[in-house]
Structures are given as structure tokens and as C-alpha cells.
Amino acid sequence: MEVGPNSVVAAQAGISGSTKLGKNVMVGGQAGIVGHIQIGDGAKINAQSGVSKSMEPGQAVTGSPAYDYTSALRSQAISRKLPELEKRIKELEQVLKAMKV
């Protein structure tokens, strides 16, 4: 394993021996990183993330398997609205059903 300058790895993170971390990389606690990949300069890996692919410089990921952090935030915002969206869909279905008659 190679760790670039100014990179930080929090407690209980697991990094396979052949992985290369670039400069200024941040790895959260309990994150897991497979071998034979490269983590680009300035990349950020959230705690408990599972990284199985190389990361571009400046990329931020979360989750297991790890995926784009910004996409994760969007998904969380949408999931909070699911009850409201379900209600609207049911109302629209009723309107459509009434139009068919």
C-alpha cells in the first residue's frame, strides 16, 4: 500500500496492500478498499464505505458499494418525499381512471 503526502486514514479502515492513495486523500473510519486500485489526489471516502473501483482525483463517495456522494444526497432528499409522491400518484391514477369512464 502506498499513501500519498497529507493523506489521512481514520481508525478501523481496511486498505488492501496493493492500493495506492494519492495526495490529500481522506478515508473515513471503517471504510474498506479493495486491492489493485488507485485513489486519486484529494479524493474523499466516507466512513463505512466499500470502495471496489479506482477513484478520480477530487471524487467523493459514500455507501457500500461506494457511489457518488452528491448522488447519495439527492437520493436522500427524494426518499424523504416518497410518502407525498405516493399520495400524488394515487390521486392522479384516480383522475385517469375517472377520465376513462
CATH number at residue 90: 2.160.10.10
Counting the structural domains of the chain, the total is 1
Q: Whole domain around residue 87: which residue ranges?
A: 2-100
pLDDT tens digit string along 29-73?
Answer: 999 999 999 999 999 999 999 999 999 999 999 999 999 999 999
Rounded mean pLDDT, 11-25:
97
Checking if the pLDDT of 101 tops 90, the result is no
- What gap in Å lies between CA 100 and CA 96, rounded to an integer? 6
Q: What percent of the chain has pLDDT over 70?
A: 100
23: confidence class by pLDDT, cuts 50, 70, 90: very high
Task: State the number of CA atoms in the 13 A half-sphere of 52 facing the CB.
Answer: 6
In this structure, how many other beta carbons lie within 10 angstroms of the beta carbon of residue 90? 10
Q: Are 32 and 47 in contact (CB under 8 A)?
A: no
Q: Are 4 and 19 in contact (CB under 8 A)?
A: no
